[in-house]
Structure formats: structure tokens, C-alpha cells
């Protein structure tokens, strides 16, 4: 199949950053690839009232891109619950989480899709993220999943991710917890643990626009990585066993 015959499901979770309009514009101007976009909004004031977002939705219509919007009032687990809401609507095999401060050259998704559609089953295929830097903590100096990357979603991956986002507390959530995990570490560890191929493509680029962010020291803590890895092992064992014990169709 060609990139024109398959969709990529893209989910954007936003707290209303001023960069959201730029993110949407570069996403909607991707060339030679078909997208379905879902936006979940956890901002105090709905972003759909902003001109830049309204204009982006008009652009989606002109470009023939499916673009849906949902407002969430969840606050304590806004990140994790928002990701779960996105995942529920992203049912295709080629899926992507895109942050509201990431912009992409117009060829990025076509480059990722060309590799993904030929690969069949894979783990993740990610772009090189410029200006990620110290904000990525202990992931900064190693290949890892990054927002804007594709991941392949089959029944096992979908079950694991739904469970993960429904039950964990992320470092980006407001709720206090001694067992916090980090999504980027979890996704980066999940697919190798499942034996799935992972790639970071040097000819696919994304740009992180949060130029004011310094080091987030909690992302350097090895205990955070250990908890994220432990959650990977726990959920793989749980859901592999559940799928193996499920009645076979027919």
C-alpha cells in the first residue's frame, strides 16, 4: 500500500499553550499522507474559542483532514486521562501522540509513513527532535520515542496502553503520588520489551518550541526510570496472559 491509501491517527493533548496554533498548522500542511486528528483540551478556558484554533479547524476542512475536538474538565490526572481519551478514538494501527509545542516540516509524516507502511508490524518510528535537550532527562543521550513519532497499535499494545493511562499517575499530572511514572520512558521501554523494532529516522525532523524550559530534575531520577520499566513488565505479563486465555474466535 502507498501512504495515500492508509491513515495515521494523530492525537494532540493541550493545556492551551500559545504554540498550539503553530503545531496545528504544520500538522495540517503535511504532504502526501492522510491524517485523522483528535484534539483533547484540558486548558482552563477552552482553546476552541481562540482564533488560531478556529482558523486551524477551518484549514482542516479546506485540506480535507478529519479533525475532532473534545474539552476535558479533568484536572488531577489531566495528562493521563487526556491521553486515554485520545487513545479511545485512535483505533488504527498507525498512531501518533503529538504535543502542543512540536512543529514539523511538511515532509515529516510522509517520511515516517513510508517506513511504517512497509514495515507492517513495528514498535515505534520516531523523528529526530531538535531542542529536546535536557528536557528529556535520562533519555536525552539515547534513542527514544518522541512526540510526533508513530507507534504500531495491535490488540496487545492497545490493551497495555489503555490500562497504563487509566491506572497510572504521570510526572505531568497534578495528583500527588509516590509511584509516578513517565510516559516517554514507558513508551521507549515498552516496544523493545515486546520484541518490536524501534527506529529514530535521521531524515525526519521535529522541532520542540519550548525554548524557555530548563532542566526538569525529576526526569533525571533513576527511580522514575525503574518505576516506568517495572510498569512495562507488569502490564506486558498481565495482558499477554489475558490474550492467551481469551476464547479463540470461530
The rounded average pLDDT for each run of 10 residues, N- to C-terminus, in the chain (250 residues) is 73 97 98 97 97 97 97 98 98 96 97 94 95 70 91 97 98 95 96 97 94 66 90 97 77
7-23 burial by CB neighbour count: b if 16+ within 10 A, else e?
bbbbbbbbeebebbbbb
pLDDT computed for residue 141 by the predictor: 75
Q: Report the C-alpha gap between 169 and 182 in whole angstroms.
A: 8
Predicted local confidence at residue 1, as pLDDT: 39
Domains in the chain, start-ordered, CATH in brackets? 3-242 (3.90.550.10)
Q: What is the pLDDT of residue 213?
A: 65
Give residue for cell 483528535.
38
pLDDT of residue 216: 65
> What is the model's pLDDT at position 53?
97
* φ, ψ for residue 151, nearest 5 deg: -130, 150
Q: Measured between alpha carbons, how far is 107 from 32 in angstroms, rounded to an integer?
A: 8
Report pLDDT for 116. 96
Q: What is the pLDDT of residue 135?
A: 57
Q: What is the DSSP string of the chain?
A: --GGGSEEEEEEEES--TTHHHHHHHHHT--S-EEEEEEEE-SSS-GGGSHHHHHHHHHHHHHT-EEEEEE----TTHHHHHHHHHHHH--SSEEEEEETTEE--TTHHHHHHHHHHHHSS-SEEEEEEET-GGGGGGGTTS----TT-EEE--HHHHHHHHHHHHH--BTTSSS--TT-B-HHHHHHHHHHHTT--EEEEEEEEEEE--TT----GGGG-HHHHHHHHHHHHHHHHHHHHHHHHSPPP-
List all residues 6 or more positions away from 104 whose beta carbon is below 8 Å from its beta carbon. 26, 27, 30, 127, 148, 205, 206, 207
Amino acid at each position: 500500500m502507498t501512504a495515500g491509501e492508509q491513515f495515521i491517527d494523530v492525537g494532540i493533548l493541550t493545556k492551551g499553550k500559545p504554540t498550539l496554533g503553530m503545531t496545528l498548522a504544520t500538522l495540517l500542511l503535511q504532504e502526501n499522507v492522510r491524517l485523522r486528528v483528535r484534539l483533547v483540551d484540558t486548558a482552563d478556558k477552552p482553546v476552541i474559542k481562540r482564533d488560531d484554533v478556529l482558523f486551524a479547524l477551518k484549514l482542516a476542512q479546506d485540506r480535507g483532514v478529519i479533525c475532532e475536538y473534545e474539552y476535558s474538565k479533568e484536572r488531577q490526572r489531566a495528562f493521563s486521562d487526556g491521553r486515554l481519551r485520545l487513545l479511545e478514538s485512535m483505533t488504527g494501527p498507525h498512531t501518533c501522540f503529538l504535543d502542543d509545542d512540536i512543529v514539523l516540516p511538511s515532509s515529516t509524516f510522509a517520511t515516517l509513513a513510508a517506513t511504517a507502511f512497509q514495515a507492517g508490524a513495528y514498535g515505534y518510528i520516531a523523528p529526530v527532535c531538535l531542542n529536546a535537550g535536557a528536557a528529556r532527562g535520562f533519555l536525552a543521550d539515547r534513542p527514544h520515542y518522541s512526540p510526533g513519532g508513530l507507534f504500531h497499535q495491535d490488540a496487545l499494545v492497545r490493551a497495555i496502553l489503555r490500562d497504563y493511562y487509566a491506572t497510572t499517575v504521570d510526572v505531568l499530572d497534578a495528583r500527588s503520588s509516590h509511584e509516578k511514572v513517565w510516559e516517554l520512558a514507558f513508551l521507549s521501554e515498552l516496544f523493545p520489551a515486546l520484541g518490536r523494532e524501534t527506529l529514530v529516522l535521521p531524515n525526519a525532523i521535529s522541532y520542540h518550541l519550548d525554548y524557555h524550559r530548563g532542566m526538569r530534575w525529576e526526569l533525571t531520577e533513576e527511580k522514575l526510570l525503574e518505576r516506568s520499566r517495572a510498569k512495562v513488565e507488569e502490564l506486558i505479563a498481565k495482558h499477554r496472559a489475558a490474550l492467551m486465555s481469551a476464547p479463540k474466535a470461530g
